[in-house]
Amino acid sequence: MSTPMNKSQVIAGTIGVCAAALGLAGRARSTGHTAAAAGVLAGAAWFTAGAFAANTPIMGPVAATGPGDRPRAALTFDDGPGPSTPAVLEALEAAGVRATFFVLGAHAVRYPEIVRRIHEAGHQIASHGFDHGILVFRGVRHVRDQLSRTEAAINDAAGADAISPWFRAPHGFRGPATWIGVRSAGYRMAGWTAGVFDTAEPGVQTIVDRCDAALRPGTVVLLHDADGWRTGRARPQTAMALPGICEAARRRGIELVTFTDLLETA
């Protein structure tokens, strides 16, 4: 197993790629190869846009929004389970809402009883990879390993029917091999419509207000019930914001459903 790559490492690596591309383009242009220089720069731009724009199809198709002709939206949670997940589940149950949890395999190993509870409550479980490592510079074998280890952890916790065939990349960052690995493992890429930056802990009411402003037919809201990098860290503000978020959806006449149910809305 390789060490997970974090955001800073991936950004530094991408800067290195772009710097190398600029150097190559400069040499090509100085020798009269203008077309080659343009091609190198275009390739660097393609790589950067595809890696860091979460919903771009450059690195393969991504489902990020549902149909806008019916009043439905989806709440999705990344990085769990964790200490705040039970409170999240209680808030969702009180509101009669079903959501989608993009689970980390390592956290499923640590909190199998919470994974089981998510499944038994009727929520959708999907994959967020095993260790939250960023995949921009990883190959197909690594991507498939992340998926298979996470699937095994979820199966052990909640049964073979618990996981759905959706994968959301950590931070939404992807590389050229990500989609190939995801597709070959039988998964599809998931994105999101509205991130409300609840991980910055801006305050419960701010999280509610941001969700309220984002909720429209077809919206996929990105929230977090744990910390992808620090196992055991709680997300209490997100859990406490959920009653207000669900009430905002009700007030707007929007039904909150799972990710798959939103996409399959006719």
Catalytic residues: 78, 224
**Cα-Cα-Cα-Cα dihedral of 85, 103, 214, 253, to 10°?**
-70
Phi then psi dihedrals of residue 26, to 5 deg: -65, -40
- Residue 240 carries which side chain, given as an amino acid letter? M
Q: At what angle do helices 112-120 and 140-158 cross, to 10 degrees?
A: 70
Q: How far apart are CA 83 and CA 85, in angstroms?
A: 6
Q: Which two three-digit tokens encode residue 126?
A: 């999907």
DSSP 172: G
Find where tokens 């731009």 sit. Answer: 45
CB count in 10 Å sphere of residue 33: 14
Q: Which residue has the tokens 């967020």?
A: 128
The DSSP 8-state label assigned to residue 122 in this structure reads T
Q: b/e string for 50-69 if b means 16 or more Cβ within 10 A?
A: bbbbbbbeebbebbbbbeee
Beta bridge mates, 256: 73
Whose tokens are 């999101």? That residue is 192
Per DSSP, which regions of the chain are E strands? 72-78, 100-103, 124-127, 163-167, 188-189, 194-195, 220-224, 255-257
